[in-house]
C-alpha cells in the first residue's frame, strides 16, 4: 500500500482510505450483517489501509467502533456530523449551536468506542450554511480539541448539490481547516483549479470522494449522463457515442475497467492525498485498492479526458 502525508496534519496515511458511507455503507445498504461489514474493515486494515472515514448519517459508526477494538491505535479515524440538528433536513437551517454540537459529538465517541477522533468534519455544508457554521461551530471544534477529543478540523462539501465547489470557495478564505473532503472525478474535474490549487498553497490535507459513483460504475448511467451533457452543448457529440462512450479508457495498455481508470485518475491528481473507496465485499475492496495503487493513466488519455470534460462543473457522477 502506497502512503502519503496528509498535508499540514503531518499524519502519514495510506493513499487509499476506507469509506464507510456511499451507496454501500459497508454492505449495510443491501443487507449485509454486521459481521460481514466488520470483515471488510479487518481486511482493509490487513491490506494496509489505515485511514477509515465514517459519519453519523451513514449509520456505520458502531460497526467501525466494534471493528477497531484492539486496533484503534493503528488507524487514523475520520468521522463527520451534519451542521443541522438531528431530525432537521440536511439542507435546512435549524443549525446546531456550539453546545448542541458538542453534545452530539459525545454520541459519536460512544458509537466509535473511542475517546478521541483524529479528524472531525462538519459534514456536507452548503454555501448558505457556511458562515453560520464557521462562526458557531468552529469554536465548538476548538473546545473539543482543547479537551483532547479532536486532533484536526475537517470540512466536507455536498458535491451532489454543490458541483461547482461554492462552499469550499468560501471556506478556503479561512485558515482553520486542516483537512477538506472534495468531490473530484474524471467527469467533473473542476476542483483542480477551484480547490486544489488553493489547498496545496495552504498545506491542507485533501480527501477525494466521488472518484467512482453511479456514472462510472453503471454503463447505462454513464450513457445517460453523456447524452445530457451533449444535449446541453457541453460535449461535442462527435467525440463520444454509442454504448461505450469512454471505451478508450479500457483499451490496450490503459485500464482493465472504467472504475480502475477512474480511481487511477484521482489517485495521481496533484493535491489529492487520500482516495476514498467504499464497498461491502472483500474481493471488491481488493480490486479497488489495486486500482488506487496503480500507475498514472497515459498522458495521451489524460489529454483526451481534459478535452472532453475539462470545463464540466455541472454534474457529480452520482
How is residue 244 written as a grid cell? 461505450
Give the model confidence (pLDDT) of 202-240 as tens digits: 999 999 999 999 999 999 999 999 999 999 999 998 888
Q: How confident is the model at residue 90 (pLDDT cuts 50, 70, 90)?
A: confident
Q: What is the widest separation between alpha-carbon atoms in the chain? A: 59
Q: Residue range 271-292: average pLDDT?
A: 97
Q: How confident is the model at residue 161 (pLDDT cuts 50, 70, 90)?
A: very high
Q: What percent of the chain has pLDDT over 90?
A: 92
Spatial CA neighbour of 159 closest among 268, 276, 265, 77: 276
Q: How confident is the model at residue 91 (pLDDT cuts 50, 70, 90)?
A: confident
Contact between 76 and 13 (Cβ < 8 Å):
yes
Distance CA 152, CA 119 (A): 5
Distance CA 14, CA 6 (A): 9
Contact between 267 and 207 (Cβ < 8 Å):
no
pLDDT score, position 257: 96
Measuring CA to CA, how many Å separate 60 from each of 22, 65, 174? 11, 9, 31
pLDDT at 106 over 90: yes
Q: Residue range 195-207: average pLDDT?
A: 98
Contact between 145 and 151 (Cβ < 8 Å):
yes
> How many other CB atoms are found less than 10 A from the CB of residue 106?
11
DSSP class of 173: T
pLDDT score, position 244: 87
Distance CA 12, CA 2 (A): 11
Q: How confident is the model at residue 94 (pLDDT cuts 50, 70, 90)?
A: confident
Distance CA 295, CA 209 (A): 19
Give the model confidence (pLDDT) of 240-277 as tens digits: 877 889 999 998 889 999 999 999 999 999 999 999 99
Q: Residue range 269-287: average pLDDT?
A: 97
Q: Residue range 59-81: average pLDDT?
A: 97
Helix (H) or strand (E) holding 150: strand 150-157
- What the chain holds in terms of domains, given with CATH numbers, is 3-213+271-295 (3.20.20.100)
Q: How confident is the model at residue 55 (pLDDT cuts 50, 70, 90)?
A: very high
pLDDT score, position 251: 84
pLDDT score, position 87: 73
pLDDT score, position 88: 75
The radius of gyration computed from the CA coordinates of the chain, to the nearest angstrom, equals 19
Give the model confidence (pLDDT) of 108-134 as tens digits: 999 999 999 999 999 999 999 999 999
Distance CA 26, CA 252 (A): 32
Please, what is the end-to-end C-alpha distance for the chain in angstroms? Answer: 27
SS3 13: strand
Distance CA 59, CA 36 (A): 15
Contacts of 147 (CB under 8 A, 6+ apart): none
pLDDT score, position 45: 98
Give the model confidence (pLDDT) of 1-34 as tens digits: 999 999 999 999 999 999 999 999 999 999 999 9
Distance CA 54, CA 289 (A): 18
Residues of the chain by 3-state class (helix, strand, coil), percent to 5: 45, 15, 40
Amino acid at each position: 500500500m502506497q502512503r502519503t502525508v496528509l498535508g499540514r496534519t503531518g499524519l502519514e496515511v495510506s493513499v487509499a482510505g476506507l469509506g464507510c458511507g456511499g451507496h454501500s455503507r459497508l454492505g449495510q445498504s443491501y443487507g449485509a450483517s454486521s459481521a460481514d461489514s466488520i470483515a471488510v474493515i479487518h481486511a482493509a486494515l490487513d491490506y494496509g489501509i489505515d485511514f477509515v472515514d465514517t459519519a453519523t448519517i451513514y449509520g456505520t459508526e458502531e460497526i467501525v467502533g466494534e471493528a477497531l477494538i484492539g486496533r484503534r491505535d493503528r488507524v487514523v479515524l475520520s468521522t463527520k456530523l451534519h451542521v443541522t440538528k438531528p431530525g432537521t433536513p440536511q439542507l435546512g437551517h435549524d443549525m446546531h449551536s456550539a453546545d448542541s454540537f458538542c453534545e452530539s459529538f459525545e454520541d459519536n465517541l460512544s458509537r466509535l468506542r473511542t475517546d478521541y477522533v483524529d479528524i472531525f468534519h462538519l459534514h456536507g455544508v452548503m454555501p448558505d450554511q457556511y458562515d453560520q457554521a464557521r462562526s458557531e461551530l468552529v469554536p465548538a471544534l476548538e473546545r473539543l480539541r482543547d479537551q483532547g477529543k479532536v486532533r484536526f478540523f475537517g470540512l466536507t462539501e455536498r458535491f451532489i448539490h454543490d458541483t461547482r465547489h461554492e462552499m469550499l470557495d468560501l471556506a478556503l478564505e479561512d485558515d482553520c481547516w486542516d483537512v477538506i473532503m472534495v468531490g473530484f472525478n474524471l467527469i467533473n474535474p473542476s476542483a483542480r483549479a477551484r480547490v486544489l490549487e488553493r489547498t496545496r498553497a495552504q498545506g491542507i490535507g485533501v480527501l477525494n470522494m466521488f472518484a467512482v459513483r453511479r456514472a462510472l460504475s453503471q454503463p447505462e448511467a454513464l450513457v445517460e449522463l453523456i447524452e445530457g451533457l451533449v444535449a446541453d452543448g457541453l460535449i461535442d457529440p462527435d467525440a463520444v457515442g454509442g454504448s461505450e462512450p469512454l471505451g478508450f479508457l479500457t483499451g490496450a495498455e490503459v485500464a482493465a475497467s472504467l472504475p480502475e481508470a477512474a480511481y487511477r485518475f484521482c489517485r495521481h491528481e496533484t493535491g489529492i492525498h487520500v482516495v476514498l473507496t467504499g464497498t461491502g465485499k472483500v474481493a471488491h475492496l481488493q480490486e479497488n485498492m489495486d486500482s488506487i495503487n496503480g500507475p498514472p493513466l497515459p498522458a495521451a488519455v489524460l489529454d483526451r479526458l481534459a478535452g472532453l470534460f475539462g470545463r464540466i462543473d455541472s454534474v457529480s457522477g452520482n
